[in-house]
Amino acid sequence: MAKDYFQDILQPDDGKPASSFVTGKNLRDAGQESQGAGERSIRNITVTRASRPRGMSSDVRDSVSEPQPPYERSSLGGQRRVWIWVVAAISVVVLGVLAIFAFRSTAITVTQRSRPIIFDQSVHFVANATADDPTALTYTVVTNELEDTAVVPSNGTERVEEKASGTIQVFNSYSAAPVRLIKNTRFSTPDGLIFRVPATVVIPGKKGTTPGSVEVTVSADQAGEKYKVGPIDKFTLPGLKTSPEMYKGVYGRSTAAFTGGFIGDRPAMEAGALDAAKAEVRGRLETKARDGARALGNDTSTVFPDLIRITYESLPPTAEAGGGSRIHEKARVEIPVLPAQAFAKTVVEGVGENTEGTSFTIQGLDNLTARGGATISNVALGKDAIDFTLSGNAVLVWNVDSAALAAALAGRDESAFQGIITGFPSIQEARARIEPFWKSTFPASASDIKVEFAPLQSSQ
């Protein structure tokens, strides 16, 4: 058997057939055959790789002169090692797959209840500046100031004396009849600075306790920067002092800083080039203002860029190296901001949905166009109520309390899933994946349950 074993494993030497390999028995036979040539036996010969003994037959020399390398005899052991590594690799893969399932979180995929809403201009929204009525919609005002510039060709300098001007809202809480103000009627600030109306003004009469009002532009009585006054809460009319009740009931208010007001030399610019550059700069400022207002909208705040109010001011130009003048334009941006939840609740009530115990989100507000009411451009933002309409399509979404849902499912059997979901009216549909897959109960800890939200499916 030993002979057969080595014949199968070892390679023949020098290209001779495997049967030429000489075993111990062959060596003895070969020694007997060579006794006539020196009476020597193989047992009396020392064989080295450096020399071959004389008188040995060529078959014997070939058999013993090139011993087989030890590593070839370990081929079977190498095969066994390969199989060990294969089995180990498969085990690692299997354990990895099991680990993925064993450590993957239990997940609940929820589809929130939702419905589409179509807004049209027949519905007016009113937001108050104060929270006197806790159920009423309110708003706050965020104010930003932006600046931009442009270079305009100029030719020398010019002497300028410019009067400041601005817009004020004139109110009549004196009588139900209109009040007529003649051209150049004076309006005075608390500091005594005088502004005048350039034409006759008629102020509508009050309705009940709501004063009539009209917006007018006034100009400073004199040139100079001191007339560039900020928002003024109350302008009085000195010409009405002889009638105390009328003097008290007819007044003005400004909501933005006046612009202009300059005395001095500045670069001379062609009127057409100046107007074009100013329009371009103000267009950029408006874009920045709208982008800034849009960025304020989030989960807690609702903003409509169409409702912002921008007041522009031209700052004194500066000389530009190499010729030309750099004009400077400033924009004061007032942004009404509505609480997102309060606005959503107002919309929900408007479409007849029940708001008790549920919160809502409106998606797609960026697709809506807002238009201010008759007085929004004239009110003192932050002090007076504003009214507006919306047009376009949006989606009303019922919010789901993820933490409450996970807590309700923690430790419960999968058979209770449907009943628990029914207790959440904000959920339209839900699916559960319990991990590891061989378990039939939800994890005992709510933190091990992940709540995911599927794309919305509108429903009526």
pLDDT tens, 368-422? Answer: 999 986 566 667 788 788 999 999 999 999 999 999 999 999 999 999 999 999 9
User: In this predicted structure, what is the pLDDT of residue 307?
Assistant: 93
Q: Is residue 274 domain-resident?
A: no
Domain ends where: 264, 279, 311?
264
Indicate the pairing of strand 186-188 with strand 194-196. antiparallel
* Residue 33 in this model has a pLDDT that exceeds 60: no
Q: Is residue 15 domain-resident?
A: yes
Which residues face 145 on adjacent strands? 332
* Average confidence (pLDDT) over 83-89: 77
User: In the 8-state DSSP scheme, what is residue 356?
Assistant: T
CB-CB neighbours of 137 under 10 Å: 19
* Residue 305 in this model has a pLDDT that exceeds 70: yes
Stronger pLDDT, 282 or 20, i.e. the higher one: 282
Q: Is residue 256 domain-resident?
A: yes
- Strand stretches in 307-413, DSSP E: 309-319, 325-339, 360-363, 369-372, 386-398
Q: Give the count of domains, the chain.
A: 2
* Residue 242 in this model has a pLDDT that exceeds 50: yes
- Asked if 23 contacts 34 with a C-beta cutoff of 8 angstroms, the reply is no
Q: Is residue 365 domain-resident?
A: no
Range with the poorest average pLDDT among 18-22, 293-297, 441-445: 18-22
Q: Is residue 42 domain-resident?
A: yes
* Average confidence (pLDDT) over 81-97: 73
- For residue 194, the enclosing domain spans 158-264
* Residue 55 in this model has a pLDDT that exceeds 70: no
* Average confidence (pLDDT) over 109-127: 90
Indicate the pairing of strand 449-453 with strand 106-112. parallel
- Asked if 335 contacts 293 with a C-beta cutoff of 8 angstroms, the reply is yes
Domain ends where: 68, 86, 106?
68
User: In this predicted structure, what is the pLDDT of residue 189?
Assistant: 96
* Residue 207 in this model has a pLDDT that exceeds 70: yes
Q: Is residue 26 domain-resident?
A: yes
Stronger pLDDT, 156 or 30, i.e. the higher one: 156
Q: Is residue 258 domain-resident?
A: yes
Q: Please, what is the average pLDDT of the chain? A: 81
Range with the poorest average pLDDT among 38-42, 160-164, 352-356, 408-412: 38-42
Q: Is residue 449 domain-resident?
A: no
Question: What residues contact 210, with CB distance under 8 A and at least 6 apart?
Answer: none
* Average confidence (pLDDT) over 215-243: 93
pLDDT band at 152 (very low <50, low <70, confident <90, very high): very high
pLDDT band at 194 (very low <50, low <70, confident <90, very high): very high
- Asked if 108 contacts 431 with a C-beta cutoff of 8 angstroms, the reply is yes
Domain ends where: 68, 90, 106?
68
Stronger pLDDT, 83 or 309, i.e. the higher one: 309
* Average confidence (pLDDT) over 179-185: 94
Stronger pLDDT, 371 or 32, i.e. the higher one: 371
CA proximity to 378, closest of 219, 256, 248, 251: 256
Q: For a pLDDT cut of 90, what percent of the chain falls above it? A: 49
User: In this predicted structure, what is the pLDDT of residue 13?
Assistant: 47
Q: How far apart are CA 119 and CA 111, in angstroms?
A: 24
